[in-house]
Amino acid sequence: MNREEAKQAILDRYPKIFPVDPERGTRIGFACDKGWFPIIDHLCATVQDYIDNTGVTVVAKDGETLLLNPPQLVFDTIKEKLGTGRFYERVRAFPAETVEAVDGATLERVQTSAADKFDGMILFAEHLTSVTCEKCGKPGELMNRKGFLATRCPACAKQEGFKQRPDQGSPSTRLTITPERVEMRGAGPQPEPAA
Ligand SMILES: [Zn+2]
């Protein structure tokens, strides 16, 4: 299976995560090589399984209890940046009938809880891209070629002239947290001020 076919197979497997853009009539591309496609595939499987099979019981405005699934996640962009994978996501609003039936505070609670879970899944996937060759999918590490960073296995690195970075840290310290993610963290609940 070539790169294009492999990408198409993933898009087709997760139509809710990769909807067709109504204006352009196309779906997103992956701005990375196919060594990371299995990571994308596993991330999408985990995300969609969580959305489809994790119901939260809430009390609706009319007093009835109902099972609420987390809102749908959509990926707008998946790309390589500074050698590791980045996933830019968006959480869709609840369907109109749900918004009508359940109060806003409850919906927000379910949405925030889902966003936290998605954030963790995506961070883990981004970490995996920092230890997986983007070209072939074998174990790799962040390499350097005249200031250009990429995650490569030893064989692909040799072929393309990449070298290990002298300042190589552990995988967790190498992983760059995107500004959006830091912002999201900062906006979370603040600790109670000391009395
Ligand atoms: Zn490789």
Position with higher pLDDT, 139 vs 194: 139
Q: How far is the CA of 124 from the centre of ligand 1 (A)?
A: 20
Q: Does some domain include residue 156?
A: no
In a domain, 30, yes or no: yes
Query: Is 159 domain-assigned?
Result: no
- Where does residue 62 rank: exposed (0-12), middle (13-18), buried (19+ CB within 10 A)? exposed
The contacts of residue 114 (CB under 8 Å, 6+ apart) are 50, 51, 70, 71, 73, 91
Q: Is residue 47 part of a domain?
A: yes
Tell whether 174 is covered by a domain: no
Q: What is the Cα 164 distance to its own chain's centre?
A: 27
State the pLDDT at residue 181.
Answer: 47
Band of residue 195 on the pLDDT scale cut at 50, 70, 90: low
CA distance 77 to 86: 8
Nearest-CA neighbor of 123 among 183, 176, 173? 176
Distance 118 CA to ligand 1 centre (A): 28
Q: Report yes or no on 143 lying in a domain.
A: no
- How many A from CA of 141 to the centre of ligand 1? 10
- The alpha carbon of 4 and the centre of ligand 1 are apart by a number of angstroms equal to 18
User: Torsion angle of alpha carbons 32, 8, 43, 154, nearest 10°?
Assistant: -40
Residue 171 falls inside a structural domain: no
pLDDT of residue 1: 85
- Give me ligand 1 centre to Cα 63, in Å: 57
Question: What are the pLDDT digits (tens) for 78-109?
Answer: 999 999 999 999 999 999 999 999 999 999 99
Instruction: State the total domains in the chain.
Output: 1
Q: Residue 101: which domain range?
A: 3-131
- What number is the average pLDDT over the span 33-62? 96
φ, ψ at 98 (rounded to 5°): -70, -45
Distance 24 CA to ligand 1 centre (A): 34
How far is ligand 1, taken at its centre, from the CA of residue 190, in Å?
43
Q: What is the mean pLDDT of residues 30-43?
A: 96
Q: Ligand 1 centroid vs 28 CA: distance in angstroms?
A: 25
Q: Which tens digits make up the pLDDT trace of 144-169?
A: 999 999 999 999 999 999 998 765 55
Query: How far does the centroid of ligand 1 lie from the alpha carbon of residue 86, in Å?
Result: 19
Q: What is residue 184's predicted lDDT score, i.e. its pLDDT?
A: 42
115 assigned to some structural domain: yes
